Structure 1
Amino acid sequence: MTFSDVTASAGAWVLENGHRALLAVTGGRFPKKLLGMETIELHTIGRKSGQRRSSMLTAPIFEADRIVVIASKGGHSEHPDWYKNLVANPDVEVTFGESTTPWSARTADAQEKADLWLTAVKINPGYDGYQRKTDRDIPVVILTPRT
């Protein structure tokens, strides 16, 4: 693991666990937004364990019928585990506020990614920096409500 991967992993851990701690201390009232993005909790099924896993994420695009998240992991050389899990099982759940609902996840194709990436980077320019730090193509994930 490179130094860049170590710092990306540590940063991701601090952000996720710090976010969880703030939500616990404030009774879920803060932070609802982070860096101008909605915060969600994504629930996946572990591709190896079969157990429910949860990740706190920011959504640069948050609409009633579509949520977009970026599998950046701070520019780490490997995809985040939550992304690997949803690739293996695209039936996920999203918690936003007090509500948890079923969603379907898929990786944006090249054209969709090009369009969505521009919007995501306008909201959080850090995504471009993450992409420059890694050789992997950072996936853009589209979540849509499951009925």
Structure 2
Amino acid sequence: MSATTSSTPTLPPRWIIRTIWRAHRLLYRVTAGRLGLSRPTAARAGFLRLRTVGRTSGRERAVIVCYVEDGARLVTLAMNGWGAGAPAWWLNLQAAPDAEVDLRDGARRVHATAATGAERDRLWTLLDAVQGWGDDLDAMAALRPDQTTVVVLEPRVDPRDS
């Protein structure tokens, strides 16, 4: 009997993914932000800390996500660990799209939107060109029942600054 290989990626159990997320947030917190965030490179996605307002609680919520840069814009995926459903932070941004991000070199106010059409396709290619979401972005996205949202975080200027 010959062995066959599958091109379908496998994910670790959900509890492992959640434990890794918690450990990453803990690392950030116990080092007062000195560790846990990174700038993206041509080959690898960076990590940012996204601060949203909870859609039901009204309280600040924070999550660390991978991202790439597209000019002044920051781009990430609302992929929920490649599981079904949208991550809570994306649901929060849909309800209140103005948020803040903490980057390795400081904080920034942003406004979130979902990329669509040709813009989504272009950004998907940009995301696929770096490591951070798995070896094969299309294969990983195929694990989800719905299309993975490409989230664009545009710089937000406070009108009081004008």
Pairwise same-fold verdict (TM > 0.5) = yes
C-alpha displacement at 1:139, in angstroms? 0.1
What secondary structure, in the 3-state scheme, does the structure 2 residue paired with 1:133 have? coil
Map Cα deviations across residues 38-75 of structure 1 (whole Å, 9 max, x no partner): 1110011111111111111110x225611001111122
Q: Is the 8 A contact 1:46 1:52 kept in 2?
A: yes
C-alpha displacement at 1:87, in angstroms? 0.8
Give the length in aligned residue pairs.
142
Question: What's the counterpart of residue 53 of structure 1?
Answer: 61
Equivalent residue for 1:76, pick from 76, 79, 83: 83
Letter in 2 for 1:100: A
What secondary structure, in the 3-state scheme, does the structure 2 residue paired with 1:123 have? coil
What secondary structure, in the 3-state scheme, does the structure 2 residue paired with 1:141 have? strand
Q: Is the 8 A contact 2:112 2:153 kept in 1?
A: yes
Q: Is the 8 A contact 1:72 1:130 kept in 2?
A: no
Query: Comparing 135-144 with 17-26, which one deviates more in the overlay?
Result: 17-26
| TM-score (normalised: structure 1) | 0.83
Matched, 1:29 2:29: no
Equivalent residue for 1:140, pick from 143, 146, 150: 150
Map Cα deviations across residues 12-50 of structure 1 (whole Å, 9 max, x no partner): 422321212333454533343388221110011111111
Q: Is the 8 A contact 1:42 1:94 kept in 2?
A: yes
Letter in 2 for 1:120: L
Structure number with larger C-alpha Rg:
2
Q: Is the 8 A contact 1:68 1:142 kept in 2?
A: yes
Equivalent residue for 1:16, pick from 17, 21, 35: 21
Matched, 1:129 2:139: yes
Letter in 2 for 1:139: T
Q: Judging changes above 3 Å, is the alpha-carbon distance between structure 1 residues 45 and 12 closer, same or farther for their aligned structure 2 residues?
A: farther
Instruction: Name the structure where helix makes up a greater proportion of residues.
Output: 1
What secondary structure, in the 3-state scheme, does the structure 1 residue paired with 2:142 have? helix
Letter in 2 for 1:16: W
Gaps of 5+ in 2: 1-9, 158-162
